[in-house]
């Protein structure tokens, strides 16, 4: 007789305002548990993995990220990969290394020094110009969503007039978990659009990311069109969504911790520490998944081949074994690296860009506005699992003298 598969532990309903107490209860029981930190209740039974585990301690999460032979990313081929196509996100080993080298040439740190004055500051200042005279703004609608969208569009070298179309399609693509039909249409439209951009650059080379990707070559190997447009589509969930959510989280946390806001406002050299603490305390993406390629063991827990593992970054970032008072937002705490940019082979490729964009955004806001105060309309709060950020951030302010 077949042994019935025990139903895995998932605490439902998940508290979308604050899943952190649930993460803490799980950590108190061990670094790994059989179950999930995600809500699978709306997933058809045929698509629900039989074996689900969740890594919740810092050490377990770190180990999963660093052992990509056993804990593989190919699971993305059947989730986000359906919308963006084959990319480095779902590759492992040599192919991942070779492919990542090709695309990362376009993201080298030396480009940042140029991008800050030429693209990021003008974009951020231009946006502030659009709302500064009103004395009030919704920083999510008017600022945190808009600046990474405009930055990516400029980095890719897209025509200015295409911005409204690009913004709409980007929004539709990143909403793939809730409106998948729309996301498929956006994915197809973005493919055609990017193919035309690639073709133009083959005829006339340009000094932008698409131009770099068209020209990229290692040992005589060039990227195929499919690799280029898929990577460009990956930049929308990977680069745009994460940055808009994390900058919204940081602004919310500073606006609701007034003493820390005042300290950063008085001394902009604290912005870097505030960004890291914001990423630790409220990471924009609390959970990613991996697939066990072989029978293994994690923090003493046997994990059978074929299991799906929730890698709970949000829980790892609040591990009491690594941080004192992990449940407090404190930009002055001793700096211990968080794991919001993952670790190992798939460590975020855009982490320097994300930090720079966020620093410039906060610096410009604090320099150009004064008396910034969070209003209560729309009940601003951070919300969601696994993606987290505020949906509104209404503020009042005065232009600085
Ligand atoms: C605060 C902002 C950001 C956060 C928290 C973040 C977080 C992450 C995480 C956790 C991963 C690993 C995902 C996994 O393996 O399952 C990742 C990968 C990646 N990120 Fe970011 N990211 C951010 C911003 C950016 C930006 C601005 C870009 C580029 C414009 C970017 C590009 C990428 C790419 C291309 C990968 C795939 C790397 C690979 O698979 O080798 N990210 N990011």
Helix, strand, or coil (residue 299): coil
Structure confidence at residue 322 (pLDDT) = 98
C-alpha of residue 232 to centroid of ligand 1, in Å: 13
Third-level CATH fold of 67-285+340-399: Cytochrome p450 (1.10.630)
Q: Distance (Å, rounded) from C-alpha 217 to C-alpha 215?
A: 6
Is the bond preceding 386 in cis, omega lying within 30 degrees of 0? yes
pLDDT confidence band for 2 (50 / 70 / 90): very low
Q: Is the pLDDT of residue 1 over 80?
A: no
Residues 351/112, Cβ–Cβ less than 8 Å: no
156 pocket-lining for ligand 1 (C-beta < 6 Å): no
Tens digit of pLDDT for each residue in 13-66?
899 999 999 999 999 999 999 999 998 887 777 778 889 999 999 999 999 999
295-321 average pLDDT score = 97
Residues 342/61, Cβ–Cβ less than 8 Å: no
Q: Distance (Å, rounded) from C-alpha 70 to C-alpha 147?
A: 38
35 pocket-lining for ligand 1 (C-beta < 6 Å): no
C-alpha of residue 240 to centroid of ligand 1, in Å: 10
Residue nearest to atom 1 of ligand 1 (CA): 243
Report which of residues 138 and 177 the model is more confident about: 138
C-alpha of residue 329 to centroid of ligand 1, in Å: 23
Residues 103/95, Cβ–Cβ less than 8 Å: no
Q: Is the pLDDT of residue 86 over 50?
A: yes
pLDDT confidence band for 7 (50 / 70 / 90): low
pLDDT confidence band for 289 (50 / 70 / 90): very high
Tens digit of pLDDT for each residue in 237-264?
998 999 999 999 999 999 999 999 999 9
Residues 331/263, Cβ–Cβ less than 8 Å: yes
354 pocket-lining for ligand 1 (C-beta < 6 Å): yes
Task: Report which of 164, 145, 163 is spatially closest to residue 155, judged by C-alpha positions.
Answer: 163
147-176 average pLDDT score = 94
Judging by beta carbons within 10 Å of its beta carbon (0-12, 13-18, 19+), is residue 53 exposed, middle or buried? buried
Helix (H) or strand (E) holding 131: helix 121-131
Residue 146 tokens read as 């808009």
73 pocket-lining for ligand 1 (C-beta < 6 Å): yes
89 pocket-lining for ligand 1 (C-beta < 6 Å): yes
Q: Is the pLDDT of residue 6 over 50?
A: no
Pairing state between β 308-312 and 287-292: antiparallel
Q: Is the pLDDT of residue 296 over 60?
A: yes
109-130 average pLDDT score = 93
Structure confidence at residue 8 (pLDDT) = 61
Residues 400/368, Cβ–Cβ less than 8 Å: yes
176-190 average pLDDT score = 91
C-alpha of residue 322 to centroid of ligand 1, in Å: 23
310-338 average pLDDT score = 98
Residue 97 tokens read as 């290394």
Query: 77 CB contacts (<8 Å, ≥6 apart)?
Result: 86, 90
């Amino acid at each position: 007789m077949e042994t019935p598969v025990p139903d895995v532990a998932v605490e439902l309903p998940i508290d979308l305002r604050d899943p952190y107490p649930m993460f803490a209860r799980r950590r108190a029981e061990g670094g790994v548990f059989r179950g999930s930190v995600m809500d699978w209740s709306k997933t058809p039974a045929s698509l629900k993995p039989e074996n689900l585990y969740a890594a919740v301690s810092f050490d377990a999460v770190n180990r999963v990220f660093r052992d990509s032979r056993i804990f593989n990313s190919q699971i993305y081929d059947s989730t986000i990969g359906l919308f963006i196509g084959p990319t480095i996100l779902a590759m492992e080993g040599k192919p991942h290394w070779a492919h990542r080298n090709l695309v990362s040439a376009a993201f080298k740190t030396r480009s940042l020094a140029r991008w800050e004055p030429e693209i990021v500051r003008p974009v951020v200042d231009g946006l502030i110009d659009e709302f500064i005279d009103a004395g009030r703004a919704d920083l999510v609608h008017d600022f945190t969503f808009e600046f990474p969208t405009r930055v990516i569009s400029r980095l890719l070298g897209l025509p200015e007039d295409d911005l409204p179309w690009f913004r709409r399609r980007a929004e539709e693509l990143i909403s793939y978990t809730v409106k998948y039909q729309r996301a498929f249409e956006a994915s197809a439209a973005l493919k055609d659009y990017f193919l035309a951009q690639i073709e133009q650059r083959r005829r006339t080379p340009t000094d932008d990311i698409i131009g770099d990707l068209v020209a990229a070559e290692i040992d005589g190997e060039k990227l195929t069109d499919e690799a280029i447009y898929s990577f460009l589509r990956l930049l929308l969930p990977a680069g745009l969504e994460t940055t808009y959510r994390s900058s919204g989280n940081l602004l919310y946390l500073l606006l609701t911790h007034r003493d820390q806001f005042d300290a950063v406002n008085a001394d902009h050299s604290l912005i870097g520490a505030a960004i890291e603490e914001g990423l630790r305390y409220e990471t924009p993406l609390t959970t990613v998944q991996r697939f066990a390629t072989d029978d293994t063991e994690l923090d003493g827990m046997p994990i059978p081949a074929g299991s799906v593992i929730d890698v709970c970054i949000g829980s790892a970032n609040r591990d009491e074994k690594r941080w004192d008072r992990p449940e407090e937002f404190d930009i002055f705490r001793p700096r211990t690296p968080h794991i919001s940019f993952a670790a190992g082979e798939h460590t975020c490729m855009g982490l320097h860009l994300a930090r720079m964009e966020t620093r410039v955004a906060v610096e410009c806001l604090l320099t150009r506005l004064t008396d910034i105060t969070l209003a209560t309309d729309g009940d601003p709060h951070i919300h969601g699992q696994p993606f987290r950020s505020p949906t509104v951030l209404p503020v009042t302010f005065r232009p600085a003298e």
